[in-house]
């Protein structure tokens, strides 16, 4: 998961990247919407509003040796330069709401093809929202188990999109290519240990044009 953080006051970009790589997260660090898990060979697209400033990016995916990628130097940076804010967000095909223990899917029914979905949270804590496509014959529980222990379990799903650190009030959208199959939408409500609790729902993309939301 690519965490995006504005460079905090008192840091240069390079000093902040250095501290991230040493897993020294400054106490005044805040996080911004970023790309979540990306499957090998795939690309991921997340669109978000960014205030002007300098930003750092760090990957918080865990390696097989237990170390976070960010600690191995998987960090980067970018600058957001001033531009007139037209107030126009990308057009979206649907809206996904994260509210307490419920995920809502609103708008036209999801179908095969490339779709941009806005992710809107009303939860007090930032959430990492994920969309997985279940591999044939795999259950939701197998997919969640694999997601939690990706370095040790055989894949039960394929990551197709996600937005990291979705804050209430932030405007972020994710562009996903759907093909027929069963998709799992979820976010963790408690990542404190090896058995996180998830809020989840499935969406089935039919072979034809209709979608069934369960």
Contacting residues toward Cu ion, per CB under 5 A: 59, 61, 69, 74
Burial of 88 (0-12, 13-18, 19+ CB in 10 A): exposed
Task: Give me the residue label for tokens 């970018």.
Answer: 78
| Cα distances (Å, whole numbers) of residue 37 to 8, 65, 161, 162 | 25, 18, 7, 7
What's the min distance (Å) between Cβ of 137 and Cu ion?
Answer: 29
Nearer to Cu ion, 61 or 80 (CB): 61
Closest C-alpha to 69, from 4, 12, 1: 1
Nearer to Cu ion, 61 or 189 (CB): 61
Q: Is 170 in contact with 33 (CB distance < 8 Å)?
A: yes
Q: CA dihedral in degrees (119, 49, 56, 144; nearest 10)?
A: 10
Which helix (H) or strand (E) segment is 17 a member of? helix 13-21
Nearer to Cu ion, 40 or 137 (CB): 40
Task: Give me the residue label for tokens 């959208």.
Answer: 173
Radius of gyration of the chain (CA): 17
Nearer to Cu ion, 161 or 181 (CB): 161
Nearer to Cu ion, 69 or 201 (CB): 69
Number of Cα atoms under 13 Å in the Cβ half of residue 14: 0
């Amino acid at each position: 998961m690519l965490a995006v953080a504005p460079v905090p006051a008192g840091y240069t970009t390079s000093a902040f990247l250095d501290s991230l790589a040493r897993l020294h997260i400054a106490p005044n660090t805040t996080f911004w919407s970023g790309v979540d898990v990306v499957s090998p060979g795939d690309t991921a697209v997340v669109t978000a509003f960014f205030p002007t400033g300098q930003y750092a990016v760090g990957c918080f995916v865990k390696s097989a040796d237990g170390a976070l990628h960010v600690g191995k130097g998987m960090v980067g940076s970018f600058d957001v330069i001033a531009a007139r804010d037209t107030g126009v967000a990308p057009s979206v095909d649907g809206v996904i709401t994260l509210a307490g223990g419920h995920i809502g899917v609103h708008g036209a029914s999801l179908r095969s093809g490339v779709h941009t979905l806005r992710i809107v949270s009303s939860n007090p804590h930032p959430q990492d929202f994920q969309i997985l496509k279940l591999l044939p014959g795999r259950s939701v529980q197998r997919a969640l188990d694999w997601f939690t222990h990706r370095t040790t379990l055989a894949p039960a799903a394929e990551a197709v999109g996600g937005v990291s650190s979705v804050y209430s009030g932030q405007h972020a959208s994710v562009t996903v290519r759907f093909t027929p199959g069963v998709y799992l939408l979820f976010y963790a409500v408690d990542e404190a240990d090896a058995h996180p609790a998830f809020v989840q729902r499935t969406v089935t993309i039919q072979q034809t044009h209709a979608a069934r939301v369960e």
